[in-house]
Amino acid sequence: EDMPSADKTAEILNPVLSPFRMHIRNCLEATCFLDKVRYISRAIEDLNKDISKLIGNDFQAACDDIISMLILALCNISEDMFVSLYVNLRLLMDVLPSFLSGSLWDYNLVSLCASYDFLFTMRFCEHVGKLDSEHIRCSKERVFLDRTFIKT
């Protein structure tokens, strides 16, 4: 059978992701740490229920606590990026368990490594992007100065 189209996938996932996004938005807007924990706990609990309805009763949620703490640590990234990262981690751990042959501890490690790798890569790319734009600006100024010097 063919893979579902992007529209079909979005249609299937929207009822799952919409409430999750709402809880995450509330978490990002909350100023109190306990409110953040409450919204995150609710988001994870509801997401687990919804995903288990989608993929069957044998669904097992792995390492919710560690992901909860990870979420709290990642509140400074954009909502879309955050939701995408979180959902990808859930899929890696719960929907694709054959990816690893080990225990839930392995899943915890993979999720942490993936998250920090993602954040490092994102931050590094932003940094390089800033350096690159600075380098390009300096190069243009240098070329302008060189041309001016040659003309005189």
118 inside domain: yes
CA–CA dist 58, 134 (Å, integer):
52
For the segment 30-51, the average pLDDT, to the nearest whole number, is 75
| CA 49 to each of CA 5, 79, 97: distance values in angstroms, whole numbers, following the listed order | 24, 21, 18
The reported pLDDT for the residue numbered 14 is 77
Contact partners, residue 72, CB within 8 Å, separation at least 6: 33, 36, 37, 40
Tokens read off for 25: 């938005």
92 inside domain: yes
Percent of the chain with pLDDT over 90: 0
Q: How far is CA 92 from the centre of its chain?
A: 12
46 inside domain: yes
For the segment 115-128, the average pLDDT, to the nearest whole number, is 56
Helices (DSSP H) in the chain: which residue ranges?
6-29, 33-55, 64-73, 79-90, 104-151
Tokens 């915890």 identify what position? 108
Per-residue pLDDT reduced to its tens digit, 6-35: 566 667 777 777 887 888 788 778 877 677
- Model-level pTM? 0.40
Cα separation of the two ends of the chain: 71
29: containing domain:
6-151
In the chain, the number of structural domains is 1
1 inside domain: no
CA–CA dist 109, 62 (Å, integer):
11
